[in-house]
Amino acid sequence: MLGIVAGLWVATEKMDYTWRWNRIPQYFLYHDENVKTVPTDGHITKIEKNGGTTTVTVRDQNEGISTFDIDTDTANVSIDEFLMEGDSVGSTREWRAGPLAVGLWVTLWISAVASVLGLIIGVITGLCRVSQNLTLRQLSITYIEIIRGTPLLVQLFIFYFFIGTVFNIGRIPCGIGALGIFAGAYVAEIIRAGIQSISKGQMEAARSLGMNVPQAMVYIILPQAFKRTLPPLAGQFISLIKDSSLVSVIAITDLTKSGREVITSTFAVFEIWFIVAFLYLILTFSLSQVVAWIERRLAVSD
């Protein structure tokens, strides 16, 4: 491992690449400066210092009064000074999230919504898949086969260019919809395997107590199936987070697209892709930790 890292280091040294890690943090968080300018010519009539902020009052030729709140250390005017239209009085500064932080957030919430959607679709389809009703069973098999048999990238294009255009849906709902439907097909098969792995005796016991099929499913079968399928479900949702990087092709500014945009302005290609990979890793690792925690909690009945 160390050998590989050392080898890569030597190789990048040889090709004369300048590492600029110091330029990265500003794409997460930056100090935004908002310069306040006077709209018309006028005199400064009053400067009132109030701790960190300063209020500057300007009177123009038509006796109109305007006031500006600025950060004290940026004040660059004095009392009675004459200002021309467009001159600056000072500025306010605030911290803003950079493109990488925004992209990370977009990836996070798109994945979260798509996961919930995928889980709902998956559970419903999984239940149809094991139902006695032939039509429901065939429909769910058709859905699963179509979705599993076509690439997610192509599904995204169809969703965005065809369904999105026909029904006039925005790109973000399209992206979430495509991801959710894609994940749903896999979740359905996982849920079906889980349901079928529960012994028949559980259903019989529930029915012999007078429960109907939905009650038995909700209170007896699904909780056990869910516990048993938690590891593959976690894998599926980790995949979903990673697959969400594909929504950048329909111009959703997720983490991957933000990374590409930052690269176009910094040329820090190596650094940005490493950072993007690391951020995905943080998301997926957190998810596996959460699932491990749930698994430990559910293990009390073992």
Partner 1 sequence: MIKTVDLEKIFVVRDQEVRAVDGITTHIKSGEVVVVIGPSGSGKSTYLRCLNGLETLTAGHVHIDGIDLANRKTDMNKVRREVGMVFQQFNLFPHKTVLENLVLAQMKVRKRSRKEAEIKGRALLVKVGIPEKESNYPSQLSGGQQQRVAIARALAMDPKVMLFDEPTSALDPEMVGEVLEVMKQLAREGMTMVVVTHEMGFAREVADRVLFMDYGKLVEEGTPEHFFTEPKEERAKLFLRQVL
Whichever of 171 and 207 has its CB closer to partner 1, that residue is 207
Using CA atoms, how far apart are residues 85 and 112, in angstroms rounded to an integer?
49
Closer residue to partner 1, CB minimum distance, 116 or 298:
298
List strand residue ranges (DSSP E) for 27-156, in order.
Answer: 29-37, 42-50, 53-60, 65-71, 82-83, 88-97
Among 4, 134, 166, 300, binds partner 1 (CB under 8 A): 300
Please state, in angstroms and rounded to a whole number, the distance separating the CA atoms of residues 224 and 216: 11
Q: Minimal distance in Å, beta carbon 199 to partner 1? A: 8
Which range touches partner 1 (CB under 8 A), out of 73-81, 127-135, 165-173, 210-218?
A: 210-218
Residue whose CB is less far from partner 1, 75 or 291: 291
Nearest-approach distance from CB 209 to partner 1, in angstroms: 4
- State yes or no: residue 227 binds partner 1 (CB under 8 A): yes
Site for partner 1 contains 301 (CB under 8 A): yes
Nearest CB to partner 1, comparing residues 211 and 294 = 211
Total number of residues binding partner 1 (CB under 8 A)? 22
Cβ atoms 20, 271 nearer than 8 A: yes
Q: Which of 62/301 has CB closer to partner 1?
A: 301
Q: Which residues are 151's β-sheet partners?
A: none
104-112, 199-207, 263-271, 275-283 -> range binding partner 1 (CB under 8 A)? 199-207
Do 266 and 119 meet the contact criterion of CB atoms below 8 Å apart? no
CB atoms within 10 A of CB 42: 23
C-alpha torsion 154→124→235→301, nearest 10: 180
Q: Choose which of 167, 201, 264, 296 interacts with partner 1 (CB under 8 A).
A: 201
133 makes contact with partner 1 (CB under 8 A): no
Task: Give the integer Cα–Cα distance in Å for 239 and 246.
Answer: 12
One-letter amino acid for residue 218 of the chain: V
Report which of 85, 78, 90 is spatially closest to residue 62, judged by C-alpha positions: 85
Interaction of residue 297 with partner 1, rule CB under 8 A: no
Q: Which is nearer to partner 1, 135 or 208 (CB)?
A: 208
Residue 224 in the binding site for partner 1 (CB under 8 A): yes
Q: Applying CB under 8 A, which of residues 26, 66, 202, 266 lies at the interface with partner 1?
A: 202
The residue among 106, 88, 97 whose CA lies nearest residue 37 is 88
Count CB atoms within 10 A of the CB of residue 279.
21
Does 197 bind partner 1 (CB under 8 A)? Our answer is: no
Answer yes or no whether residue 204 interacts with partner 1 by CB under 8 A. Answer: yes
Distance between CA 195 and CA 229 in Å, rounded? 9
Binding residues for partner 1 (CB under 8 A): 199, 201-202, 204-212, 215, 219-220, 223-224, 227, 298, 300-302
